[in-house]
């Protein structure tokens, strides 16, 4: 029986650089072994051929936003319905996984019946196809030590959880910011342990540009990111990896040790996670982060002004 089903949504394989990054990622997932099933959801251009060549499963039907972007809700629902694995894992399609990934899932699951496992990534530029020849993991770890950079904790690229965690996901747009932060919020709200396994898992993001988005701009400036934040419930629910309340270091799963700074953060989150009051949570965020709140408000006003000037068609179209 398959232990873990990894699922993802891919960009079209028509761009050679994007295709290379995605094929690199799929190969490392398949290299985890027969206990792992890999599923692509959504039939983007070239996805069926890539699935056949990389020996992964394709589920063609997917819900999309008005702009044609697959929704996170559909990915989670389709993966759950189409698999029987006791564990499910969403992974961004440009992420490389190494041989420490599956052991971490096993060890965390042996300690906690319910959890959401996350990990901070390394950013690394890889030119050319990743060949999984003898010694490839050791060579890649050497490059990480010499060249890679730790990504800030604001973004999450992997979520692994047991099947009983039936997460009711809003119709977020995949590949845009905000939804991954909501995932951490939702797990904390439900009092599921959010386990940060950054010290045990080597998660590698292959550096790339944003040629697939309008004007080559980061997804953080895309209108669907603003919609994701709205669906999440507002910026006060944007949690990060730093808000994980458990940790796994490769040997032991335990509640995260609290520093003075993290205790202040937990105090800030009380209205959101314990009182479940959006208005009090927004007030707490404004109190603890006045400059950030002011910048967010100015950014929102600028976005609204651009929308009014340009009309509803701003940046629309299939831009996965």
Chain segment 136-147, per-residue pLDDT in tens: 999 999 999 999
CB 38, CB 74: distance < 8 Å: no
Tokens encoding 280? 């009090």
Looking at 51-55, 154-158, 168-172, which range is the least confident one?
A: 154-158
CB 115, CB 161: distance < 8 Å: yes
Residues near 153 by beta carbon (within 8 Å), at least 6 away in sequence: 120, 240, 241, 242
> Does the structure show a pLDDT above 50 at 316?
no
Task: Delineate the domains of the chain, giving CATH numbers in brackets.
Answer: 4-232 (3.90.550.10)
> What DSSP string runs through 197-215?
-TTT--EEEEP---TTSGG
CB 219, CB 315: distance < 8 Å: no
Residue found under tokens 């389709």: 78
- Chain-centroid distance of CA 320 in Å reads 15
Looking at residue 317, its pLDDT comes to: 43
What's the pLDDT tens digit per position in 72-130?
A: 999 999 999 999 999 999 999 999 999 999 999 999 999 999 999 999 999 999 998 99
What average pLDDT does the chain have? 88
> Does the structure show a pLDDT above 60 at 211?
no
SS3 category, 277:
coil
> Does the structure show a pLDDT above 80 at 221?
no
What's the pLDDT tens digit per position in 284-314?
A: 666 666 666 677 667 767 767 777 776 654 4
Q: Give 315 or 74, the one with higher predicted confidence.
A: 74
Q: Which of 69, 85, 56 is nearest to 160 (CA)?
A: 85
Looking at residue 186, its pLDDT comes to: 96
Query: How far apart, in Å, are the Cα atoms of 29 and each of 35, 53, 249?
Result: 11, 14, 22
CA–CA gap between residue 59 and residue 79 (Å, rounded): 9
Largest Cα span, the chain: 57
Half-sphere exposure of 180 (CA within 13 A, CB side): 23
Looking at 22-31, 204-213, 248-257, which range is the least confident one?
A: 204-213
């Amino acid at each position: 029986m398959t232990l873990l089903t990894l699922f993802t949504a891919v960009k079209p394989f028509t761009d050679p650089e994007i295709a290379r990054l995605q094929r690199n990622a799929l190969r490392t997932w398949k290299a985890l072994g027969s206990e792992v099933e890999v599923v692509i959801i959504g039939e983007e251009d070239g996805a069926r051929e890539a699935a056949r060549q990389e020996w992964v499963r394709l589920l063609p039907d997917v819900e999309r936003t008005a702009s044609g972007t697959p929704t996170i809700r559909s990915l989670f629902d389709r993966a759950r319905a189409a698999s029987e694995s006791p564990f499910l894992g969403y992974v961004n399609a440009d992420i490389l996984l190494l041989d420490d990934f599956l052991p971490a899932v096993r060890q965390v699951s042996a300690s906690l019946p319910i959890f959401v496992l996350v990990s901070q990534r390394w950013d690394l530029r890889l030119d050319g196809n990743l060949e999984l020849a003898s010694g490839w993991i050791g060579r890649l770890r050497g490059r990480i030590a010499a060249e890679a950079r730790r990504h800030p904790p604001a973004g999450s690229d992997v979520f692994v959880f047991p099947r009983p965690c039936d997460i009711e996901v809003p119709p977020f747009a995949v590949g845009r910011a905000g939804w991954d932060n909501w995932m951490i919020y939702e797990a904390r709200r439900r009092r599921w342990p959010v386990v940060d396994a950054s010290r045990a898992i080597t998660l590698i993001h292959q550096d790339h540009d944003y040629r697939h988005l309008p004007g080559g701009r980061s997804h953080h400036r895309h209108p669907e990111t603003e919609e994701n934040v709205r669906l999440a419930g507002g910026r006060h629910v944007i949690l990060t990896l730093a808000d994980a309340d458990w940790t796994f270091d490769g040997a032991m799963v335990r509640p995260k040790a609290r520093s003075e700074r993290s205790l202040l953060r937990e105090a800030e989150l009380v209205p959101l996670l314990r009182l479940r009051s959006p208005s009090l949570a927004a007030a707490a965020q404004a109190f603890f982060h006045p400059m950030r709140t002011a910048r967010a408000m100015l950014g929102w006003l600028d976005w609204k002004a651009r929308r009014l000037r340009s009309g509803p068609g701003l940046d629309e179209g299939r831009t996965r």
